[in-house]
């Protein structure tokens, strides 16, 4: 940019001039931060006007005595998304949070569902000051009201063990039968970075026996994998024994929700999709997320018209892969729509086509025939696609994406309100309170900003003046001035630079 400016206008500018020009241009395009917070209520009124029954909730606290409230949290749940999730998606909810890098630093909490094509489906999102038990409880309380979740029975919660999240779920809903699905490998990778977990068995936990125990659909195979893990490392086995396997092993998952997921990649995909919006002011941030969701619903409705089958392209590709893998099977018909199917090695399972079950439990767990079931269906001249659960069909996909997120008018057309949010709480940078100035020995700032702090409160200036009066110009400071917290500037020795 500097070279381009010098070439076009023959003018040179400093780095700080470029920074100020960029900030001025950004403010002209996006608006000032305080101006956006002052129009937040009007933006919410326009959202509820153009999209009836949408939830737009703002939580404020008392200001600093000027009468205006202080912004704390914002929750949004479009009516199109909550209707589409309840009618067309499976009861799966992934919870995650990502950092906001703008003026109001904080966390963006999201809840992601899974559509019939096994893609992400955003349900609700919230902007909060931090990620803790209080913010998650507030977020889940509003989410439960929107989705009409009186209890968490039949809901699969996918999480990466965020701070206070599990306690918040347990306290927000009447727990009858809850299943938290989280990647045990994600937990291990996080613990492995800590010094307290740098032991020899962290490598064993990432080995093949653990992977088999998590991916196995049968309880006997799960127990065999744990026994093999115990033989390799007793410490690793003891560490894993404290984790309830119902949260991370497919062998103990419930078969009522058609879910065998072991990771939370859906939420990570959404965080990446909104990466460019995470440093914008609050209304610009919410506009970019809403526009992304509105365009995504339109794009998905257009894609379904190009489907060549009754199921989504991703699910179709998965089934075609299973059909190729099923070539190693050898079925034997035993009667009453039951087959004895031999697989690789000594594998042998009983497949019941009438009840759509298999001895290995995979078909019943995910609602899609496994390789043994597919080969048995092909042997009986049946179409495997007819035995896929309805939650993967085009009918469910249209129910999820038929609802519309309607556009909104510009700021000049927003309904006027009397509410203002001028006070914005700015989060401090990490470690700001632990900094200590090497010049005046005070906490909360460094040597570079010491003079400005001194001009604001006058305390450090008095200390410096008292030190100069005690020590004199160019003399060494007294012992009292050293204990007072000031240190003299050292004179640099003049040296001549010699180049050979």
Cα gap 385→377, rounded to integer Å: 10
If pLDDT is split at 50, 70 and 90, which confidence band does 66 have?
low
Residue in 397, 348, 346, 341 with CA at minimum distance from that of residue 374? 341
- Average pLDDT of 129-158? 86
Question: Cα dihedral sign for 451, 452, 453, 459?
Answer: positive
Segment 60-82 shows an average pLDDT of 83
State the average pLDDT over residues 473-481. Answer: 42
The answer, yes or no, to whether residue 415 has pLDDT greater than 70, is: yes
Most confident stretch, 94-98, 121-125, 178-182, 341-345: 121-125
Task: Identify the residue with better confidence: 347 or 399.
Answer: 399
| Residue closest to 184 by CA, chosen among 239, 144, 136, 118 | 239
Distance CA 365, CA 257 (A): 8
Mean residue pLDDT across the chain: 77
Phi, psi of 113 (to 5 degrees): -100, -175
Q: How confident is the model at residue 288 (pLDDT cuts 50, 70, 90)?
A: very high
If you average pLDDT over each of 14-23, 219-228, 320-329, which comes out highest? 320-329
Query: Quick one: angle between helices 208-215 and 219-232, nearest 10?
Result: 160
Q: Which pLDDT tens digit goes with each residue over 364-399?
A: 889 899 888 898 888 888 999 999 999 999 999 999
Per-residue pLDDT for 482 more than 70?
no
Q: What pLDDT, on a 0 to 100 scale, did the predictor assign at position 169?
A: 80
Which H or E element spans position 24?
helix 15-30
What is the C-alpha separation between 446 and 439, in angstroms, rounded?
Answer: 8
Centre a 10 Å sphere on the Cβ of residue 477 and count the other Cβ atoms it contains.
16
Count Cα atoms within 13 angstroms, Cβ side, for 484.
20
Q: Torsions phi, psi of 418, nearest 5? A: -100, 0
| Interval 156-183: pLDDT, tens | 888 876 667 777 887 777 654 445 555 4
375-381 — which CB contacts under 8 Å span 24+ positions? 375/326, 375/327, 375/329, 375/331, 375/341, 376/331, 376/339, 376/341, 376/351, 377/353, 378/323, 378/326, 379/331, 379/333, 379/339, 380/333, 380/337, 380/339, 380/353
Q: How wide is the angle at C-alpha 187 spanned by C-alphas 183 and 191, nearest 5°? A: 165
């Amino acid at each position: 940019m500097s070279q381009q400016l010098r070439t076009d206008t023959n003018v040179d500018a400093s780095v700080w001039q470029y920074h100020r020009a960029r900030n001025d241009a950004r403010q002209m395009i996006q608006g000032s931060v305080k101006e956006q917070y002052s129009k937040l209520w009007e933006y919410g009124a326009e959202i509820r006007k153009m999209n009836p029954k949408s939830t737009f909730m703002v939580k404020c606290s008392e200001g600093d005595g000027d009468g205006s409230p202080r912004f704390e949290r914002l929750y949004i749940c479009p009516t199109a998304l909550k209707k589409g999730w309840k009618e067309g998606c499976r009861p799966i909810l992934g919870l995650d949070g990502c950092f906001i890098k703008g003026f109001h630093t904080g966390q963006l909490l999201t809840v992601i569902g899974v559509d019939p094509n096994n893609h992400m489906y955003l349900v609700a999102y919230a902007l909060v000051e931090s990620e803790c038990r209080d913010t998650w409880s507030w977020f889940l309380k509003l989410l439960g009201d929107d989705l009409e979740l009186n209890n968490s029975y039949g809901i699969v919660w996918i999480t990466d063990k965020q701070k206070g999240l599990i306690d918040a779920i347990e306290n927000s809903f009447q727990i009858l039968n809850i299943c938290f699905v989280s990647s045990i490998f994600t937990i291990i990778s996080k613990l492995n970075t800590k010094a307290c977990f740098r032991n020899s068995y962290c490598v064993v936990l990432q080995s093949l026996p653990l992977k088999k125990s998590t991916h196995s659909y049968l309880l006997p195979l799960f127990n065999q994998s744990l026994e093999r893990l115990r033989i390799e490392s007793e410490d690793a086995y003891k560490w894993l024994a404290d984790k309830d396997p119902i949260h991370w092993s497919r062998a103990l998952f419930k078969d009522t929700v058609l879910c065998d997921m072991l990771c939370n990649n859906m939420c990570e995909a959404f965080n990446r999709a909104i990466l460019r919006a995470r440093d914008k002011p609050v209304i610009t941030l919410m506009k970019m997320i809403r526009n992304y969701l509105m365009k995504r619903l339109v794009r998905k409705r257009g894609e379904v018209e190009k489907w060549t089958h009754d199921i989504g392209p991703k699910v179709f590709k998965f089934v075609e892969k299973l059909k190729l893998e099923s070539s190693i099977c050898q079925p034997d018909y035993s009667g009453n729509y039951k087959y004895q199917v031999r697989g690789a090695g000594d594998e042998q399972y009983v497949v019941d086509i009438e009840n759509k079950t298999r001895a290995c439990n995979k078909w019943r767990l995910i609602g899609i025939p496994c390789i043994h079931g597919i080969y048995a269906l092909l042997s009986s001249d049946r179409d495997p696609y007819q035995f896929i659960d309805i939650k993967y069909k085009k009918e469910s996909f249209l129910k999820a994406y038929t609802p519309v997120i309607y556009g909104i008018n510009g700021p000049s057309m927003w309904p006027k309100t009397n509410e203002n949010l001028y006070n914005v709480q700015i989060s401090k940078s990490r470690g700001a309170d632990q900094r200590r100035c090497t010049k005046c020995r005070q906490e909360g700032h460094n040597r570079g900003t010491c003079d400005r702090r001194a001009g604001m409160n006058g305390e450090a200036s008095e200390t410096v003046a008292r030190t100069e009066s005690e020590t004199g110009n160019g003399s060494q400071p007294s012992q009292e001035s050293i204990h007072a917290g000031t240190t003299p500037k050292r004179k640099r020795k003049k040296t001549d630079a010699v180049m050979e």
